[in-house]
Amino acid sequence: MKLFKLRQKGVLLLLTLVMVMVAACGGNNQTNNTNQNGAASTAAGANQEHTEANNSGSEAAEDEGTLTVYLNDFDEMIGPMFEEATGYKVNLVPGNGAEVMSRIQAEKGNPHWDVVWIDAMPSVYGLATDGQLLEGWTPENASLLTDTYQQYVPEKQSYYPTGAHAAGVIVYNKNELTADQAPKTWEQFADAAYKDAIGMADPAVAAPAFPYVARFFNEMGMDEAKDYFNALFSNGLRVYPKNPNVVTALSSGEIQVAALQESNAYQMVNNGDPIEIIWPEEGAPASVRVAGIQKDTKNPNAAKAFIEFLLDPSTQQALIDQGEEAYFEPSVEGVTPKADRDPNAKLIAADAVWASGHEAEIKQWFADQAVQ
């Protein structure tokens, strides 16, 4: 009887030990499952945060290389200035407006650029509508933009203006015309008195030349603007590839009157050329210089630092004081234009949305007229 009771107690003890072990294993399994699920959740959360950071243009990601900027002016000075101020290395790829835009379009599937900075706002707006620019980012220095230049920032914040200049002022050779004989308005610019003596840059090649003609088309409407430029062509308008070619034609006497980009015009005056600059009372068509970031840039921190740098008053002042294209209206407060620039200069820019939508049509129309 005692032996039976001992055996019974032994069985109960064994069963108890088995149950404890099972419970312990189950607890361990539950703990392991909980740890694994927690790790998976953490990883998923991290991935989500990383994805959201990338989509929002966050600076969390590290840059992968040297910043590459496509530009058409100020390449003689902006690189060293930026590197010294920020510590970022930059590779500048200069070209005229047509070259820069052609290069960007050719690289659309595999962009080699991080920032584009040119005086061709309608063309850059076209890059934004084509989905090539970073959107939704506001530089801190954007708060320094004047009221006029705040209006040039697109709704999706895909680029920022760094200044504007006259895409064309009226310039005449004083050895050929007196002040009374020279045109004072854009209407007079087409007068028959200047037959075979007028010139301008090609809107399909020179970056400022398209904003120049776009202003007339935007203001007058397509048909009336075509009539205006047809009158110029009938009057012997000569179209040169770029503004420096117009300068040469004016200096040589090949033409007597021109629509000339303002920095080129003031440089002629400063060089002692016998020319006079006229700012029409109705205003001069503006070429707005803007900067945008490639949406898939591998160097987001340096790219954003470059935009901030361009919107810094000290940078714009240095460009005015030392730059080759120094005659322009700054986009931010606290910057003084050139002392000899007309203080009453009136700039009028074509609407970027409208001009971008009609850019190909207008350029083709000019190309067709040029071959006739």
Q: In what order do the strands lie in the sheet with 198-201?
A: 238-240, 198-201, 257-260, 169-173, 275-278
Distance of CA 57 to the CA centre of its chain: 17
Beta strands in the chain (DSSP E): 67-71, 90-94, 115-118, 160-166, 169-173, 198-201, 238-240, 257-260, 275-278, 284-293, 329-330, 347-348
Residues in the chain: 372
**Per-residue confidence (pLDDT) for residue 10, from 0 to 100:** 44
CATH 3.40.190.10 in the chain, residue ranges: 67-166+287-345, 169-285+363-370
CA distance 255 to 244: 13
Nearest residue to 286 via CA among 369, 172, 225, 210:
210
CA distance 320 to 341: 11
CA distance 88 to 83: 5
- List the pLDDT tens digit at each of the 372 positions of the chain: 433 333 444 434 433 443 434 344 444 443 333 333 333 333 333 333 333 333 344 445 899 999 999 999 999 999 999 999 999 999 999 999 889 999 999 999 999 999 999 999 999 999 999 999 999 999 999 999 999 999 999 999 999 999 999 999 999 999 999 999 999 999 999 999 999 999 999 998 888 899 999 999 999 999 999 999 999 999 999 999 999 999 999 999 999 999 999 999 999 999 999 999 999 999 999 999 999 999 999 999 999 999 999 999 999 999 999 999 999 999 999 999 999 999 999 999 999 999 999 999 999 999 898 766
Any idea what DSSP says for residue 165? E
Tokens of 100: 């820069």
CB 307 within 8 A of CB 72: no
Any idea what DSSP says for residue 146? -
Looking at domain 67-166+287-345, does it have CATH number 3.40.50.2300? Answer: no
Tokens of 180: 């009374």
Tokens of 269: 């005056």
CA distance 76 to 82: 12
**Per-residue confidence (pLDDT) for residue 60, from 0 to 100:** 58
Q: Enumerate residues 6+ apart whose C-beta is below 8 A from 17.
A: none
Q: Cβ of 106: how many Cβ atoms within 10 Å?
A: 11
CB 124 within 8 A of CB 159: yes
- Whether the predicted model's global pTM rises above the 0.75 cut: yes
Any idea what DSSP says for residue 311? T
Q: Cβ of 43: how many Cβ atoms within 10 Å?
A: 10
CA distance 248 to 246: 5
Q: Look at residue 335 and give its three-state secondary structure.
A: coil
Looking at domain 169-285+363-370, does it have CATH number 3.40.190.10? Answer: yes
CA distance 162 to 231: 35
